Amino acid sequence: MQLSLQALSHRVGAAQHLYPLDLTLQAGAVSVLLGATQAGKTTLMRLMAGLDKPSAGRVLVDGQDVTGLPVRQRNVAMVYQQFINYPSMTVRDNIASPLKLHRTSAGGLPRGLSIDQQVDALAQKLHIEMHLDKLPAQLSGGQQQRVALARALAKGAPLMLLDEPLVNLDYKLREELREELSQLFASGDATVVYATTEPAEALQLGGYTAVMDAGELLQYGPTAEVYHRPASLRVARAFSDPPMNLLPALGQGQGLRLNSGLVLALGQALPQALQGPLTLGLRAHALRLEGGGAGELALQGRVELAEISGSDTFVHVHCAEGELVAQLSGVHHFELGAALSLYADIAQAYVFDAHGALLLAPQRRGG
């Protein structure tokens, strides 16, 4: 199914919730809506589903204008943050409800299966086959969300919308379900739109990513391409966790001069128009504790904070060039106020112009 949005916008009173945007989703693939809270993700999904009407613009499905059609007249499946199941119905009946209503075969399952066979197959895919005779209230949060996902899949809709479906689950459950969802969506039977605030989730789901901020669509494309070549500072900030380190700089000749006076040679001449204010970007994982290689940037500073998260350590360092966060593999211990040197390969640097547009990005391996 091909979903296209043309000059779509949404306003409530004087508040502009969504600015005019054009977006054609990749058919049969997962498209992630990535952005902070109130970026406009839920508003956009409600317009896609037909739950709300746009203030302007059109929604096209396979070239047909469906802008005025309410949600009940569209073949759309939705999964929300909350575990929305029918409390008085067993898990089996919850999953079977769309199959009985629409009398169609669930997406991704062989045709000709009975409703019970389809329910059994979906329950096995989501590892809830042992709970089919239970009521939702007897299940854990993760199990309830699996039921909601199974019911959405049972509908076999060509468009599936998932609005931060894992946000209320604990870390381990999120990891498990995220991996399972990637496998479920790999069949390409439906066009899937998945909203999240987490860059790591977008990277794990793969597919395509639309980066949103304050009601604006900033960039859309293959997830890896958007991550490695953010079109602007706004995209780079949204698609980095922890946020990309951004240092003010001045373009001079073939390099950048940082606030400390340190000159970073880029190995290529900057256009005359860019001999002025620029921004140097370094992702947190590009910073290291050991240097010594050619073409390295050495930054001297003092430790302000060190946090251990899982198998990584995040150290915040105050430097003359600016504030830095380094993501270091492994568990490290630092004394607050201690002197610390961080190193980065120049080849890992991003450069943005005075208006925030991307000028230079690290070259990806393989081209």
* Model confidence pLDDT, tens digit, residues 136-170: 999 988 889 889 988 988 888 899 999 998 887 77
% residues pLDDT > 90 (the chain): 59
From CA 309, how far away is CA 348, in angstroms rounded?
24
CA distances from 342 to 243, 278, 314, 331 (A): 17, 21, 13, 16
State the average pLDDT over residues 312-339. Answer: 94
pLDDT digits (tens, 9 = 90+) for 3-24: 999 999 999 999 999 999 999 9
Residue 229 pLDDT > 80: yes
Query: What are the residue ranges spanned by the domains of the chain?
Result: 3-230, 249-360
- Residue whose token pair is 């409390």: 87
Domain 249-360 sits in which CATH superfamily? Nucleic acid-binding proteins (2.40.50.140)
Question: pTM for this one?
Answer: 0.89
pLDDT in the model for residue 174: 80
Is 3-230 a domain of CATH 3.40.50.300? yes
